[in-house]
Structure 1
Amino acid sequence: MRFGVVGTNWITDTFIEAVHEADDAQVTAVCSRKEETALSYANKHQLAYTYTSLEAMCESGEIDAVYLATPNAVHHEQVLTCLAKGVPVLCEKPLTATKALAEKMIDTSRKHHVLLMEAMKSTAMPNFQRVKELISSIGTIRQVRFQYGQYSSRYDKFKAGEILNAFKPDMANGSLMDLGVYTLYPIISLFGSPDRIQSDSTVLHTGVDGQGSVLLSYEGMIVTASYSKIADSFLPSEISGENGAIHIDHISSPGKITLVTKQGTEDMTVNQNKPPMSYEIEEFIKTAKEGKIESSINTHEISLQTVELMEHIRKQNGIVYPLDTADGE
């Protein structure tokens, strides 16, 4: 599959590196608003084609799919453009900021019968699949604690008065959208939508959240999710049942899985010999080859429920984006 990439940041670099290790994948083109940026990026990664228009790239015949790694606030319009042109889209997480826009994106995928998949790498990784296999072995699940804290490389500049995109509400950014999604998406994937949602956030002066904690209530089970762009966390995530617990070293990129019971501790890790993003790329390609419009792992419904959950959390904490007024119709 020939990918055209949109966005020229570090995550696109990581994507291209992962493509090299994925089966039946290559990157042939880049699209950027500025021609000089596109040319420089193409030279950096030896890409054959450059574009300053997403429409032109989609119509070129030089790509089979688009990988979007652009600001959250423009995901929806770019996804809609690609789908209308009949080009499958692997869209970076989060899919978008509102339920209305997510529904429009998914409806457009169905209307044109074109693949749309959210690029949540963790759930496509073999060690996450291992977690799903192990859950039944620990009995009735009672507590889940997923966390992801990573001090932002841009936070020092923020404190010094320089506001970069990571902390701008007009970009639909903040801790919830950038890091919290890594905790909430797998929760939805494993357990579905909660019965009750409680949350609290540290809202910064720009209006985005620097960190947050969420308490999700299910029948007989309590789930907590914590995330931060203003403090590091070094604790693993945990799923606790009546007969034991599963420890996940990094919920954003599961590398080690440990089963803990009264009888002792057992390493249940699956060997992962490819870059983390390679697995989502291969899942995307597999789904496309099968002629389907959604992945069986990163489904449309999981994406929609995650967006709805994050929108609810934002409303509870007074976090407002200009995108919130965008019409999903």
Structure 2
Amino acid sequence: MIRLAVIGTNWITDQFVAAALKTGEYALTAVYSRDLSNAQAFGEKYQVEHYFDDLSSLATSDVMDAVYIASPNSLHGPQAIQMMQAGKHVIVEKPMASNYALAKKMYEVAKDNSVVLFEAFMSPHTPNFKVVQQAIKEIGAIRLAHISYCQYSSRYQKYLDGEQPNTFNPAFSNGSIMDIGFYCVGAAVELFGAPVSIQASAHKLGSGVDSSGNVILSYPDFNVTLSHSKTSNSALPSEIQGEAGSVLVEMISYGESVTRINRDGKREDLTVEQDKNPMLYEAIQFARQVNEQFIDEHCQTRSLEVARVITEIRQQTGIVFPADVE
């Protein structure tokens, strides 16, 4: 049984804890928050015994084996390093780091301390994403792909009202490409590997982060166009086009449905049943790596490549975070 601590008490932490407990591989033993009352309020329903409002005390505690980190993006890297240097395994929310250099350092720290580092990017571990991977092998040579995730942020109005929500604040290494745009980049890298070249454009807010953008990832025989936005909605699925047909994916983040359309127009629903909580599958994968004491090489390669691509996208679009200077 993996004794788990969590950093962060928001909705995504609650969703991950529910997934982790459902696997039967974890026991939630500790909760951290800067406000101890928030930690206690979060952990009460899980009957947690240990609460922390000091990260150093959490890192050196012997009441947990692993830590799930769901703090603001800018804190992911530093907190993960602190926990790993104290001998804790870490599963850290995507994006795992503010930039590529920090992501590389995190894996070096994991290796030096013989612990598991795992990026909580749920998409590639879900059953329907695996269906997509198989389906694109059956539509002939890939010639074009469009991966889209555009979702109007519930915090955008707060930004318009003059507030500074984390979602649109560069101090927290945030913005569209770092949030939902990550799913577009992550899906492309998982499906097609490292691109040969990158062309990116974005619309910036006055705060200095991107609100939306487009990216062209070039591969030897095709291009992948990415569309991401936190200030508009899209009803269009993602599409991968091959010479013999295409594959449509609703909600690229977790694969709500998968459809193959042959060149003759025949449609086939390929969707398979998967758990209502798509984080279940990443929780299973992390537990396997912890129990077997290894870092999956493919996961590490993908995480580093995604970090590299997103860092390049931000450089091209002029999105700079304080963490880049640090």
**What band does the TM-score fall into relative to the shorter chain?**
over 0.9
Q: CA deviation at 1:57?
A: 2.4
Q: Which residue of 2 aligns with 1:279?
A: 281
Q: Which residue of 2 aligns with 1:269?
A: 271
Q: CA deviation at 1:178?
A: 0.7
Q: Which residue of 2 aligns with 1:76?
A: 77
Q: Which residue of 1 aligns with 2:16?
A: 15
**1:75-130 CA distance string (max 9 Å, x none):** 11111111111111000000112111111001111111210010001111011111
Do the aligned partners of residues 296 and 106 (structure 1) sit closer, same or farther apart at CA in structure 2, a change above 3 Å counting? Answer: closer
Return the alpha-carbon distance in structure 1 between the equivalents of residues 262 and 297 of structure 2.
31
Return the alpha-carbon distance in structure 1 between the equivalents of residues 229 and 23 of structure 2.
31
Q: How does 1:83-94 map to 2 (within 5 A)?
A: 83-94=84-95
User: Unaligned regions of 5+ residues in structure 2, if any?
Assistant: none
Q: Which residue of 2 aligns with 1:152?
A: 153
**1:5-48 CA distance string (max 9 Å, x none):** 00011111111222232232232210111222222222244322
Return the alpha-carbon distance in structure 1 between the equivalents of residues 21 and 76 of structure 2.
25
State the AA in 2 paired with 1:303.
S
Q: Which residue of 1 aligns with 2:27?
A: 26
State TM-score, norm by structure 2: 0.96
Return the alpha-carbon distance in structure 1 between the equivalents of residues 262 and 188 of structure 2.
22
Return the alpha-carbon distance in structure 2 between the equivalents of residues 113 and 141 of structure 1.
40
Return the alpha-carbon distance in structure 1 between the equivalents of residues 151 and 46 of structure 2.
28
**1:139-189 CA distance string (max 9 Å, x none):** 111111111011011101111111211111010000010110011011111
Do the aligned partners of residues 38 and 273 (structure 1) sit closer, same or farther apart at CA in structure 2, a change above 3 Å counting? Answer: closer
Return the alpha-carbon distance in structure 2 between the equivalents of residues 198 and 35 of structure 1.
45
Q: For 1:94, what is the secondary structure of its paired residue?
A: coil
State the AA in 2 paired with 1:269.
T
211-220 or 52-61: which moved more? 52-61
User: Unaligned regions of 5+ residues in structure 1, if any?
Assistant: none
Q: CA deviation at 1:274?
A: 4.7
Q: How does 1:1-329 map to 2 (within 5 A)?
A: 1-263=2-264, 264-292=266-294, 294-295=295-296, 299-326=299-326
State the AA in 1 paired with 2:304.
L
Q: For 1:175, what is the secondary structure of its paired residue?
A: coil
State the AA in 1 paired with 2:126.
M
What is the number of equivalent residue pairs in this alignment?
Answer: 324
Q: CA deviation at 1:270?
A: 1.7
Q: CA deviation at 1:196?
A: 1.4
Q: CA deviation at 1:255?
A: 2.1
Q: For 2:177, what is the secondary structure of its paired residue?
A: helix
Return the alpha-carbon distance in structure 2 between the equivalents of residues 113 and 229 of structure 1.
38
Q: CA deviation at 1:291?
A: 1.5
Q: For 1:199, what is the secondary structure of its paired residue?
A: strand
Q: For 2:318, what is the secondary structure of its paired residue?
A: coil
Q: CA deviation at 1:324?
A: 0.6
Contact 1:18 1:274 in 2 (8 A): no
State the AA in 2 paired with 1:268.
L
167-176 or 47-56: which moved more? 47-56
State the 4+ residue runs in structure 1 displaced beyond 3 angstroms: none
Return the alpha-carbon distance in structure 1 between the equivalents of residues 226 and 258 of structure 2.
19
**1:264-310 CA distance string (max 9 Å, x none):** 11111121135100100001001111220x2355x111111111111
Return the alpha-carbon distance in structure 1 between the equivalents of residues 287 and 21 of structure 2.
14
State the AA in 2 paired with 1:324.
D
State the AA in 1 paired with 2:67.
V
Q: For 2:42, what is the secondary structure of its paired residue?
A: helix
State the AA in 2 paired with 1:276.
P
Do the aligned partners of residues 266 and 23 (structure 1) sit closer, same or farther apart at CA in structure 2, a change above 3 Å counting? Answer: farther
Contact 1:127 1:254 in 2 (8 A): yes
Return the alpha-carbon distance in structure 1 between the equivalents of residues 25 and 103 of structure 2.
29
Return the alpha-carbon distance in structure 1 between the equivalents of residues 263 and 110 of structure 2.
48
Q: For 1:110, what is the secondary structure of its paired residue?
A: helix
Q: For 1:276, what is the secondary structure of its paired residue?
A: coil
Contact 1:23 1:282 in 2 (8 A): no
Return the alpha-carbon distance in structure 2 between the equivalents of residues 24 and 194 of structure 1.
36
Return the alpha-carbon distance in structure 2 between the equivalents of residues 273 and 210 of structure 1.
31
